[in-house]
Amino acid sequence: MNFVQPDIFNRSVAFVSNLYDKLESKFASISHSKLSGNISWILVILICFSILLILNIFTPMTADDFGYLYIHAEDGARVTSIGDIFQSQYNHYYLWGGRSVVHFIAQALLLLPPFVIDLLNTLAYMAYVFLIYWFIKGRKAGSILLFILVNLAIWFVQPAFGDTILWITGSANYLWGTTLILLFLLPFRLYSGHKQDRISMIIYSVAFFIFAFIAGWTNENTAGAMLLMAILFLIYYRSRKWNIPVWAIVGLIGALIGYIIMIFAPGNAVRAGEAGQLGMFIICYRLLMHTLTLFTDYGILILSYLVILVLSGRFSREESKDSLQLSLIFLVGALAAIYAMIFSPSFPPRAWFGILTFFIIAIGILFYNFDYKNKFLRQIRVSMLTVGLIAFAFSFYLAAKDVSRFYSVYKERQLLVEKAKREGATTCEFERYIADTKFVHTEEVLSRHMMHGYYGIEIIFKESLQE
């Protein structure tokens, strides 16, 4: 037996080593062949797009989606045009909150046919992924392995995938809002100190001011972090002795104006009054709890960053010495977005979406800029990809199962409503859906009130009968 065990161990090591060599050889042949590389990119993009489109198609309307179908949740007037959306968001701004831009997007999406919504939401996800990919690599060479790893990071790291990427209202608030914020920051990331001619500079600055105004009016904590990161980019430019471009200053002003309009919405004051006053004890308590959540729920990200930071000191490419400064900009932005939530009465998992996006970029910049001439680093990268894809296969099965189950419940509810109406009933009883995974939005008890107008009958959750 003592002779057999070492033999099995040696064979296992030899098998893994041989498998790695074959995978590395395959990746190398793809990267060195333009045709194979293009085909691989097309296949990967199509697979990612198809997976998200399928999940979007089988994710029905739920919760706040029903409420945003109306100009005002209580008046029963349905949103039927862009003008109605403006009226609805005017009410929203004064009665509920200042996120007018993302809620405008939500209501605009809900005006469209279901398949068009699903298609647009999938395209928004692809834009979001490519933006993270571009933030990590900057103007350097592309990498299909990096693109796949970014998708895997989003899939596993984001704690409320269904709430922030698949659910219409949630995706408008977080996926679409964060995408706008990343689009605002992209010129800051890609700027390399080159001057523009006067005409181009004026046109670009005016256009960027308008877009920056919109990006600043998206999400309280993430847009606030965006402003801080823009300032840090300006400091970075000065450290490299680059001229600060006019468009950067103009854009920062535009974003700040949009942010101020959002923060000082009268609706925010109404909600703040309902939540109670913000005293020193509450501030200290939230500071402690947010820090605790960061370390207990997302400590793996902090640990990963520290490990990669140590490795980058030894294994970074010579031409990538500025990668640490760029990475720190996004790390500081992530931390700022966390502690900005001290001023919010709640901090649900979906509010971590933008924060974790910045974390992924911060880690990704250091990881991408390793010197992969080192075989050990290549082995780590291939191992991460292999394990990630295997884990994804099992995770996707559970996600698809949960999404499919909710879709079936949605269809069954339509039949129940039709039956109740035929029988002349004044109420219809549903069982509240509680998700098994993070890929479906769990219904709140109050969701039944929003369904009333949509189904044309009072909805009662079975759980609520016992309350």
Q: What is the pLDDT of residues 182-217, one digit of tens each?
A: 999 999 999 988 887 888 889 999 999 999 999 999
For residue 17, is pLDDT > 70? Answer: no
d(CA 49, CA 26): 24
Question: Is pLDDT larger for residue 197 or for residue 238?
Answer: 238
Alpha carbons 352 and 347: distance in angstroms, whole number: 8
The DSSP call for residue 462 is G
Would you say residue 278 has pLDDT above 80?
no
DSSP letter for 276, please.
-
CA 275 to CA 368: how far, in whole Å? 44
- Mean pLDDT value across residues 142-164: 95
| Whole-number CA gyration radius for the chain | 25
The one-letter amino acid at 399: A
Which residue in the block uniquely carries the two structure tokens 């697979």? 47
pLDDT for the residue 467: 40
Q: Give me the residue spans of the domains in the chain.
A: 1-32, 33-466
Q: Is the pLDDT of residue 2 over 60?
A: no
Backbone angles phi, psi at 459, to 5 degrees: -100, 135
Mean pLDDT value across residues 78-103: 90
Residue 39 makes CB contacts below 8 A (sequence gap 6+) with: none
pLDDT at res. 5: 59
> What is the reported pLDDT for 366?
94
* Predicted confidence (pLDDT) at residue 464 exceeds the cutoff of 50: no
What average pLDDT does the segment 75-103 reach?
88
Separation CA 227–CA 465 (nearest Å)? 47
**Do residues 173 and 106 lie in contact, with contact meaning Cβ atoms separated by under 8 Å?**
yes
Q: How far is CA 228 from CA 46, 185, 331, 445, in A?
A: 36, 11, 11, 38
Q: What angle in degrees, to the nearest 10, is found between the helix axes of 82-95 and 100-110?
A: 140
For position 465, what pLDDT does the model report?
A: 38
Q: Taking 80 as the threshold, does the pLDDT of residue 416 lie above it? A: yes
- Count of residues making up the chain: 467
Pick 180 or 31 by higher pLDDT. 180
pLDDT of residue 279: 77
Token pair for 124: 């928004």
Contacts of range 296-305, beta carbons closer than 8 Å, 24 or more positions apart: 297/159, 298/352, 298/356, 298/359, 301/157, 301/356, 301/359, 301/363, 304/363, 305/331, 305/359, 305/362, 305/363, 305/366
Average pLDDT over residues 396-413: 94
* Per-residue pLDDT band at 370 (split at 50, 70, 90): confident
8 versus 202: the higher-pLDDT residue is 202
Higher pLDDT, 462 or 185: 185
> In this predicted structure, which of 5-19, 126-140, 370-384 has the lowest mean pLDDT?
5-19
Question: Can you say how many angstroms the Cα of residue 302 is from the centroid of all Cα atoms in its chain?
Answer: 19
Q: For residue range 302-351, what is the model confidence (pLDDT) as tens digits?
A: 999 999 999 888 887 766 678 899 999 999 999 999 999 998 888 899 99
Over range 105-118, report the average pLDDT: 95
Share above pLDDT 70 across residues of the chain, in percent, rounded to a whole number: 89
pLDDT for 466 equals: 37
Lowest mean pLDDT among 28-32, 194-198, 362-366, 392-396: 28-32
pTM above 0.95, yes or no: no
Query: Beta strands 427-430 and 458-461: pairing type?
Result: parallel
At residue 242, the pLDDT reads 92
Compute the average pLDDT of residues 127-143. 93
Separation of CA 370 from chain center: 25
Q: Where does the pLDDT of residue 18 fall: very low under 50, low under 70, confident under 90, or very high at 90 and above?
A: low
